[in-house]
Amino acid sequence: MLLGGMVLFALCFCSIVTVSIGGRIIDALRSDESQAQATPAIAWAPDSAELTVAVSPVMAPSLEEMAQEFNRQKRETPDGQTMRVTLQPLTPEQMVERSLGQTPFQAIAPDSSLWLTQLDQRWAELQAGENAEAGGIPPRRVSDPVRYAVSPIVIAAWESTARELGWPDRPIGWQEIQRKAQADPNFKWNHPSTSHAAGILATLAEFYAAAGVTRNLTPELATDPAVLDYVREVEATVRFYGEGEEVIVQRLAQEGRDFLDAFVAQEQTVIAWNQANPGERLVAIYPAEGTLWADHPLALLELGPGDELAVTDNQRRTFRAFADFLTGEEAQRRFLALGYRPANLAIPLDGPGSPFAESDAVDWRQPQTTLQMPSAAVVDVVQNAWWYTKRPTNVYLVVDTSSSMAGAKLERTRAALRAFVTQIRGNRDRVGLVEFGTGVKRFEPLRTMNDAGRAQMLAAIDSMEADGFTALLDAVYEAYADLQVVNDREAINAIVVMTDGQENDSSLYLEDLAQLFQEGETPVVVFTIAFGDDADEDLLQELARIGNGQFRRASETDIEELYRVISTYF
């Protein structure tokens, strides 16, 4: 039997998240998002040796430590420029989008090489017209990819939950998770949306399991009705989707054992959690049908749009020096200590000091089956098909259009809501709108997000006007009451509430809503957004708490991105 790392090297190359710093990384991600939207890319000096790397949030804390150590060495280029590496946390999806235009970074470090393939494919499509006329071959956008750490995708579960499922005595697969969720209405599990590596890799694994193969997944297999039915049945038991495991870890730390029973993550997340938290352990369940790996590549963006931002020779030197640093033995052993499997296969996973040798919560001999990374065409098919296999959503957008929202705030809100509605693509998903000021000003019932429903919802958003007081609680009640009447237990039912001010016009009290939520038969999750500095954060936090949801803050520069992030939960 080959070691897990050796299997990965053979099959995948071909084709410390800590609670204390996780919040800073997520805040930096949002700050970078809004800043990048407002600030155009600036060209760098022709002899620059400074390399900016866009890195996935889950790896950002660990890679930041490595970058600081590299910078302390003050390495120089032949012409005397000091090499320096800085990081910009971005989701892989954002990396791909930004890399198609002008970017303030010269290299990317997503959590899976599938994003490199996707970027090259989209870059080639953009360049195809011009190159076809010239008879040339479209250039690649990325070059010199180097894998520096790896981690298999697992189902992380509390040890008591894992033992109920049969761990460690027997293999556990996706159908066991499905059956557990169907039998126990209190069982809560999650995987991220397919815009995150753990989400798309888990979804691919479900398609493999449904097709009954471990390699050569084709578009025809992925769209077979029986395969789609299998995936839909598994996905129907997901409590919600959302962001990557770094956000899940934050919420576990804040809300404790009852937040989730199990969630999809990289194996490293299990190790990092257990190292930092003395309570009940997480354990890694390696899906019996096989799994895929997050292979953490570092790749150079060799070209810029029209060569306006082509990397310099010194930036290439810095890239290669940093890649060599990350794959050196000292850095590889540090990655191992953080819970990643080193890319250097000469470093034993079961050696002295290895976290794999010190705990049975993870198993260095697993996974027994490594699935083949499918082609870019199959990944595209699965990402598109996911909208028709995922659990459907009923979501009400509860929006403050009181007089304090006049002007730029309302314009920003309209843009954010339009982005949210556009992001919801499944024709089984429904969106409604409750606009409030002095009382409930507009109630738009749930509409399926097909072309007609989306057009109607966008028209309602465009016609919103700011005036009146702030009847927030009455508006939330209207949305909640309708979701109870609809009583769709097969869907994720949610309310997204936004306000920039203080509740001052409702007939209901917060205690009334809390009682209604307690008595309701259809579970509803509530996301609340404090827009600006004058919103009643205490009220919004309590609303999110009684709705088992999340509270977020937003400024005029980042509210659109925040609505986009929230849409990934559905």
- pLDDT tens track for 53-96: 999 999 999 999 999 999 999 999 999 999 999 999 999 989 99
**pLDDT band, very low/low/confident/very high, at 256 (cuts 50, 70, 90):** confident
**pLDDT band, very low/low/confident/very high, at 131 (cuts 50, 70, 90):** low
Q: What is the mean pLDDT of residues 223-240?
A: 96
**C-alpha 416 chain-centroid distance:** 19
Question: What is the pLDDT at residue 538?
Answer: 96
pLDDT at 505 over 90: yes
Does domain 392-567 fall under CATH 3.40.50.2020? My reply is no
Question: What is the pLDDT at residue 4?
Answer: 35
Please, which residues have CB within 8 angstroms of residue 67's CB and are 6 or more apart in sequence?
A: 53, 85, 86, 87, 322
The whole-angstrom separation of Cα 147 and Cα 110 is 11
The answer to whether 55 touches 112, Cβ cutoff 8 Å, is no
pLDDT at 237 over 80: yes
pLDDT at 34 over 50: no
DSSP per-residue string spanning 126-184: HHHHHHHHHT-PPPPSEEEEEE-EEEEEEEEEEHHHHHHHTTTTS---HHHHHHHHHH-
Does domain 4-149+295-342 fall under CATH 3.40.50.11710? My reply is no
pLDDT at 18 over 50: no
**pLDDT band, very low/low/confident/very high, at 494 (cuts 50, 70, 90):** very high
Share of the chain above pLDDT 90, in %: 78
| pLDDT one-digit tens code per residue, 275-331 | 999 999 999 999 999 999 999 999 999 865 456 668 999 999 999 999 999 999 999
- Residue 146, φ and ψ in degrees, nearest 5: -130, 125
| pLDDT one-digit tens code per residue, 544-554 | 999 999 999 99
Tokens 């169907």 locate to 182
Q: Picking from 118-132, 234-248, 284-298, which range would have the lowest pLDDT averaged per residue?
A: 118-132
Question: What is the pLDDT at residue 3?
Answer: 34
Q: What is the mean pLDDT of residues 431-453?
A: 96
Question: What is the pLDDT at residue 426?
Answer: 74
Tokens 């890694």 locate to 284
Q: What is the mean pLDDT of residues 11-28?
A: 34
Name the token pair of 474. 């009455």
The answer to whether 529 touches 537, Cβ cutoff 8 Å, is no
DSSP 3-state assignment of 462?
helix
Instruction: Give pTM, 2 decimals.
Output: 0.88
Sign of CA dihedral 334, 340, 343, 347: positive
Question: What is the pLDDT at residue 556?
Answer: 85
Q: Give the chain's count of helices (H) and strands (E).
A: 21, 17
The span from the first CA to the last CA of the chain, in angstroms, equals: 40
Share of the chain above pLDDT 70, in %: 90
pLDDT at 226 over 90: yes
Question: What is the pLDDT at residue 134?
Answer: 52
CA-to-CA separations, 247 to 109, 223, 250, 254, 489, in angstroms, rounded: 19, 31, 5, 11, 26
The whole-angstrom separation of Cα 318 and Cα 113 is 21
150-294+368-388: which CATH topology? D-Maltodextrin-Binding Protein; domain 2 (3.40.190)
pLDDT at 359 over 50: yes
Instruction: Compute the mean pLDDT over every residue in the chain, rounded to the nearest whole number.
Output: 89
| pLDDT one-digit tens code per residue, 376-420 | 899 999 999 988 899 999 999 999 999 999 999 999 999 999 999
Within the chain, all domains assigned CATH 3.40.190.10 are found at 4-149+295-342, 150-294+368-388
Question: What is the pLDDT at residue 327?
Answer: 98
